[in-house]
Structure 1
Amino acid sequence: MPKTKKINFTYARGRRKTASARVRLIKGKGETLVNDKPFEKYFPGITGKYLLEKLLKTIDVKDKFYATIKVKGGGKMGQLDAVINGLAKAFVALDKEKYKLPLKKIGVITRDARERERRKVGTGGKARRKKQSPKR
């Protein structure tokens, strides 16, 4: 049986709404994969690229690390925010003194706790909507 290469990595979990991302941060050169697809293919468009660039530029680690990420639940934006949150937490777990303050400043470590509000009975379809009452 061939020997597999042991990889040292830092693990973190990021969340947003119903999306959950498991991040493995690995030192070295490589391609960041999200659900076995390149980051740019999984999150097409400018927003994903911009948020990742902003995170990496803030702590000056471009081309020094790569990550393998598994993300599930929610929509694409929720998943993207969960991935960014997970990456930030992984960098903090790697070196707290060096990375925590700059990442906290741009607001990527803090989990956004806002969730979808449940629909209530008798409200006419929405969470906070009130049914129309007759005038007389």
Structure 2
Amino acid sequence: MSILIHESKTIYIGTGRRKTSIARVKLVPGSGKLIINGLPGKSYLQFSPNYLRISCAPLKILGLSKEYDIHVTAEGGGLAGQASAIRLGLARALCRINPENRINLKSEGFLTRDPRVKERKKYGLRKARKAPQYSKR
């Protein structure tokens, strides 16, 4: 279910994950709008130029910024994790459009999922690794 044809438009789908965030990205031929959870991308990402740059980076690399509308359903985590998840989902969707895009996206590192997640708390410790203070006497 990576490519859908809806109302004579081809929709390309990609899923991205980062930490506890999941982003389902749909690419539709259009004018370059970013819509996240029904809101404009700028307002959803709190007008942060860094988050906007991260999430739209794959389109800029390929020079397709004004050719596709991006519709995203993002959930979980915070804005930084969601922005990185959007970037991965967008890169995966762009690979479905044209397999030759994969070469440029792979060299930039946009197709690599970041596996770092929060480590679980262990019993006998205060946090994942922080131990109670040791007293010799």
TM-score (norm 1): 0.88
Greater C-alpha radius of gyration? 1
Point out where structure 2 has 5 or more consecutive residues left out of the alignment.
1-5
Residue pairs, 1:42-81, within 5 angstroms: 42-43=44-45, 44-81=47-84
Is 26-35 or 71-80 further displaced after alignment? 26-35
Query: Match for residue 16 of structure 1?
Result: 18
* Post-superposition CA distance 1:17-74 (Å, at most 9, x none): 1100011111222522000011111112121222245322211111011111100011
User: How many residue pairs get matched?
Assistant: 131
Query: Match for residue 35 of structure 2?
Result: 33
Give the SS at the match of 1:93: helix
Query: Match for residue 99 of structure 2?
Result: 96
Q: Which amino acid aligns with 1:134?
A: S
Higher strand share: 2
CA RMSD between the two structures: 1.6
Point out where structure 1 has 5 or more consecutive residues left out of the alignment.
none
Of residues 109, 115, 118 in structure 2, which corresponds to 1:116?
Answer: 118
Give the SS at the match of 2:105: helix
* Post-superposition CA distance 1:100-119 (Å, at most 9, x none): 11111221111101111001
Is 66-75 or 42-51 further displaced after alignment? 42-51
* Post-superposition CA distance 1:67-113 (Å, at most 9, x none): 1110001111111110111001100111112x111111221111101
How far apart, in 1, do the equivalents of 2:114 and 2:70 lie?
Answer: 22
TM-score (norm 2): 0.88
How far apart, in 2, do the equivalents of 1:94 and 1:9 lie?
Answer: 9
How far apart, in 2, do the equivalents of 1:34 and 1:122 lie?
Answer: 42
Query: Match for residue 3 of structure 2?
Result: none
Deviation at 1:5, TM superposition (A): 3.5
Q: Which amino acid aligns with 2:39?
A: K
